[in-house]
Structure formats: structure tokens, C-alpha cells
């Protein structure tokens, strides 16, 4: 089922939780609603399931306007962070519970519960109580319970937050497998960008109740339309420096240094100068967008006047090295190839790749494209 929100606004008194929000969730897709705390993700979910009414705007399931329908009339499955299982019921009874409420015949609901238990791999735990299950197992039961009514839409609100790191990874894959097997349109709320990137077909990134950008994870990462989007995605975060441009030289706002963007050849063109002239800009460079040109011995430092960075620290990671470097007053994080030979206190000459390097209007945060 396709889900559409059309110009939805939700106010709580003077707080605008969701502001003129329009989005489409295609049939059979898993879409992540991502964004910082308080940006309106849970409000959107609660509007979709009918717990909250809208201040203005409309909600459509396929072509049907469901804005005024009650939660019971919407046939939605919900999974929460805290599992919300009934402690006094067994796994089988928990999974079958929604059908019991609907007064489905006992034999049929047990059959159906066993079938769903197999789908989520808890068929061997049917007679245990929630207190006798691990966090991951409890979440599997909660997912089974949400799916037993064959919902048209599955809403998941930070379902993995209570699990330890390893189990989170396992359950991400499991949720994706179950979603693909059932084909149910799923909206998954998280503030964890890695989770969103790994699990979803696409992402809707929210900020202050509005849609900041939507698209494939790689699109948002590689083509952010604003400083907020560039900054929100990426770990370590993108390096951000305020300043201004002179052709392809980005000069820091405190004049403590500059970075040559030699690979951005377009910046040399005359019309570019006009576009950027006298503008306060924000330069943002992803940590993986630096190329190590040279490691400089102490005596040679004077020979290099461009993009000479001081190395503050180098940390070995599994597949690369993460270094903190300084130029002028600015400290940046960069990835270097494994065994780069770079050490603390070295000086290095770096160039900047075009991919992963962005320029934003410093006032509006909007990306400048050329």
C-alpha cells in the first residue's frame, strides 16, 4: 500500500511539531524517517497510525483519504522501542493477541501465530514468557505480533534502540529480511544514520518538522542539498570551515589559513568568481575526500606553501587510519590509507577531491551548485 502525507501540519499549542510536511511512501518499500531528536519523527508516525489527529493536511492510504479514520480502522502494525509485550502471556499468546481481540477462532489464531513465529524465527520459544527472552527475541515477538493481522502498513519507532551493538546489527538484517518476505510497506523511525543507511530503500531526513531531503542514502550523502544534510550524515562528521573564496582558494574567516581546491576546476571559470564573490561561505569536506600528496620532513616545510597540514594524531582502524590534522586555527578529521606512514607531529601536503567537497551559503546553509 502506498502512503501519502499531503501538507500535514501538527501543532501542540504554540509548538509546531510537523510543518507543512508532504511525503510519499511507495508500496512495499522500507523507508527510514531520520532526524535529530525533536524533529517530528514520532509525531509523523502517530499521525499515520491515527493516534494523533492533524492540525491541517491529509493522509492517504493508496487513493483513500484516511485523515479522519480511527487507529482501529487503519489496519496498521506497530513496533516500539520497549517491545510492549504482555508479561503474563506466553510468546504464542502475545503473538496471537491481536486476533483474540478481533475474536478470531482459537484454532485459526494459534495456527496463524505459529506461522508468523516461524517467519521471525521464534518457533522454539512459543511457551516462554517475555521475562525469559533476550532483548532480540522479545523484539522478534513484538514484530510477529505486529504482523499477525496482515497489516497494510508497518510502523517501527526506534525498534532497535534497546539492543546491544551486535544484536542491533543482527536485528537490522532480520527486519529487512522479514520486510522483504512480507512485502509490507514499512516506515522505520531512527536517529541512527548507520541504521537508516543499512536497512532502508530510501531515507526521509527531517529537521524542525520539515522535510530536509529525501532520496537514496547515497544520494543524501553524496549530493546533500544543505549544510544540515551534509553534516547529519557521516561518521566522523564532515569537516566544516567558514570563510570565502578567491578563485579556487578557500580562505578561512579568521584569515588563519586557506585550502586550495585545485580539483574543483570549475572554480577557475570567470562566472564562478561572480557567484561566490564577497559571499560568506561554508566549505565542507568529507574525511575520506583528502588525498595524501606528501609527508614532509621538518627541514622541507618552507618549500610548501599550499595545503600544508600539521598532524595532531593518527588512529589505526580496521581498514584505514583516522587522523586529526590542523591548518591555521582549524582542526579536521581525515581518513588515510592503511599504513600511510603518517605519524603524529608530521606535516603533510593534502589535496581535496571534488567528490565529497561542498560549498554552502553560510547564512542559509543552502548548497551552492555550479
Q: Which range, of 34-42, 92-100, 173-181, 312-320, touches ligand ATP by CB under 6 A?
A: 34-42
Between 337 and 356, how does the x/- string for binding to ligand ATP read (CB under 6 A)?
--------------------
Measured CA distances, 185 to 75, 152, 179, 249 (Å): 12, 7, 8, 48
Query: Min. distance of Cβ 80 from ligand ATP in angstroms?
Result: 11
State which of residues 5, 39, 99, 359 lies at the interface with ligand ATP (CB under 6 A): 39
Contacting residue, 6, 28, 38, 58, with ligand ATP by CB under 6 A: 38
**Residue 212: CB atoms within 10 Å:** 20
15 binds ligand ATP (CB under 6 A): yes
Among 3, 21, 42, 122, binds ligand ATP (CB under 6 A): 42
Q: Which is nearer to ligand ATP, 38 or 365 (CB)?
A: 38
CB 350 within 8 A of CB 261: no
Scanning residues 94 to 123, which ones bind ligand ATP (CB under 6 A)?
none
CA angle 313, 315, 319 (to 5 degrees): 145
53 near ligand ATP, rule: CB under 6 A: no
Closer to ligand ATP by Cβ: residue 45 or 95:
45
Cell of 168: 542491533
d(CA 271, CA 225): 21
Look-up of cell digits 478481533: 102
The answer to whether 40 contacts ligand ATP (rule: CB under 6 A) is yes
23 near ligand ATP, judged by CB under 6 A: no
* Distance, first Cα to last Cα, the chain: 39
Omega before residue 158 within 30° of 0, cis = no
Q: How far is the CB of 368 from ligand ATP (least distance, A)?
A: 29
Torsion over CA: 138, 142, 145, 150 (sign):
negative
The residue (of 44 and 125) whose beta carbon lies closer to ligand ATP is: 44
Q: Which residues pair with 189 in a beta bridge?
A: 33, 157
Instruction: Residue 317: name the closest of 338, 348, 287, 291 by CA.
Output: 338
Q: What is the DSSP letter of 267?
A: G
Site for ligand ATP contains 159 (CB under 6 A): no
Residue 35 lies near ligand ATP (rule: CB under 6 A): yes
In the bound state with ligand ATP, the residue whose beta carbon lies nearer, of 42 and 258, is: 42
**By the rule CB under 6 A, 138 interacts with ligand ATP:** no
Do 290 and 361 form a contact (C-beta atoms < 8 A)? no
Which residues between 177 and 206 bind ligand ATP (CB under 6 A)? 191
CA angle at residue 349 from 345 to 350, to 5 degrees?
115
| Closest to ligand ATP by CB, 9 or 90 | 9
- Answer for which of 43, 137, 200, 239 binds ligand ATP (CB under 6 A) is 43
Select the span of 11-19, 144-152, 166-174, 315-323 touching ligand ATP (CB under 6 A): 11-19
CB–CB of 355/221 below 8 Å? no
Closer of 116 and 206 to ligand ATP (Cβ):
206
Q: Rounded to an integer, what distance in angstroms lies between the CA atom of residue 107 and that of residue 47?
A: 35
Residues at the contact surface with ligand ATP, assessed by CB under 6 A = 12, 15, 17, 35, 37-43, 191
Amino acid at each position: 500500500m502506498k502512503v501519502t502525507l499531503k501538507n500535514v501540519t501538527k501543532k501542540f499549542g504554540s509548538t509546531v511539531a510537523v510543518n507543512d510536511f508532504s511525503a510519499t511512501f511507495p508500496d512495499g518499500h522500507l523507508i527510514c524517517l531520520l532526524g535529530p531528536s525533536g524533529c517530528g519523527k514520532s509525531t509523523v508516525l502517530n499521525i499515520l497510525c491515527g493516534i494523533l489527529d492533524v492540525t491541517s493536511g491529509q493522509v492517504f492510504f493508496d487513493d483513500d483519504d484516511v485523515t479522519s479514520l480511527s487507529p482501529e480502522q487503519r489496519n496498521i502494525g506497530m513496533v516500539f522501542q520497549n517491545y510492549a509485550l504482555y508479561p503474563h502471556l506466553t510468546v504464542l499468546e502475545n503473538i496471537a493477541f491481536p486476533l483474540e481481540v478481533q475474536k478470531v477462532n482459537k484454532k485459526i489464531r494459534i495456527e496463524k501465530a505459529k506461522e508468523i513465529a516461524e517467519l521471525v524465527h521464534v518457533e522454539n520459544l512459543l511457551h516462554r514468557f517475555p521475562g525469559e527472552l533476550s532483548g532480540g527475541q522479545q523484539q522478534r515477538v513484538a514484530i510477529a505480533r505486529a504482523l499477525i493481522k496482515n497489516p497494510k502498513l508497518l510502523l517501527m519507532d526506534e525498534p532497535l534502540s534497546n539492543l546491544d551493538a551486535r544484536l542491533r546489527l543482527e536485528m537490522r538484517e532480520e527486519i529487512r529480511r522479514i520486510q522483504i518476505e512480507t512485502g509490507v510497506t514499512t516506515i522505520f523511525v531512527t536517529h541512527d544514520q548507520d541504521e537508516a543507511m543499512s536497512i532502508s530503500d530510501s531515507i526521509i531526513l527531517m529537521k524542525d518538522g520539515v522535510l530536509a531531503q529525501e532520496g537514496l542514502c547515497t544520494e543524501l550523502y553524496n549530493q546533500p542539498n544543505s549544510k544540515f544534510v551534509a553534516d547529519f550524515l557521516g561518521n566522523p562528521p564532515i569537516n566544516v570551515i567558514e570563510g570565502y573564496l578567491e578563485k579556487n582558494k578557500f580562505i578561512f574567516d579568521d584569515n588563519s589559513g586557506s585550502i586550495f581546491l585545485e580539483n574543483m576546476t570549475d572554480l577557475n571559470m570567470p562566472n564562478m568568481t561572480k557567484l561566490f564573490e564577497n559571499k560568506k561561505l561554508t566549505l565542507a569536506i568529507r574525511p575520506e575526500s583528502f588525498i595524501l600528496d606528501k609527508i614532509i620532513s621538518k627541514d622541507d616545510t618552507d618549500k610548501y606553501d599550499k595545503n600544508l597540514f600539521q598532524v595532531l594524531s593518527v588512529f589505526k582502524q580496521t581498514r584505514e587510519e583516522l587522523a586529526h590534522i590542523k591548518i591555521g586555527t582549524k582542526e579536521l578529521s581525515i581518513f588515510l590509507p592503511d599504513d600511510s606512514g603518517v605519524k603524529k607531529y608530521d606535516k603533510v601536503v593534502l589535496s581535496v577531491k571534488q567528490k565529497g567537497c561542498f560549498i554552502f551559503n553560510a547564512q542559509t546553509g543552502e548548497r551552492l551548485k555550479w
